Amino acid sequence: MRLSGLQKYILLNVLGSRGVFTRKQLSQYYGKLKEKPTPEDQQGIITRSLERLIDKGLLIGYGRRTPQKWFIDEVRLTSAGKRTARKLIGEQQSLPFRRRKAVKNKQ
């Protein structure tokens, strides 16, 4: 599956947030670029990227619906999105082993 730089940025930051990620935090992606699109174009690009990630099944979007379109306010990763984000950072997932408590000998 091919992902754009913005889509990779979205997946990695949502994974790092451990929960619901707001849309305002996504505009920081353009703070690092030398040639930035206009603010209206930035919001359109972010919206399309979010919608495409939702269509791929990597994100769940929360927002409000009008008769014309959806307004996405927050996003959360699905399990497939978590796997994809972990692949992007090259991190091996650890198994959830239980830690045993040390038993003290009574004498």
Its pTM surpasses 0.85: no
pLDDT in tens, 42-64: 989 999 999 999 999 999 999 99
CATH architecture of the domain 5-89 equals: Orthogonal Bundle (1.10)
pLDDT of residue 93: 55
pLDDT of residue 25: 81
Among 28-32, 51-55, 96-100, whose mean pLDDT is lowest? 96-100
Please, what is the average pLDDT of the chain?
A: 84
Q: Which is nearest to 23 in space by CA: 45, 56, 3?
A: 45
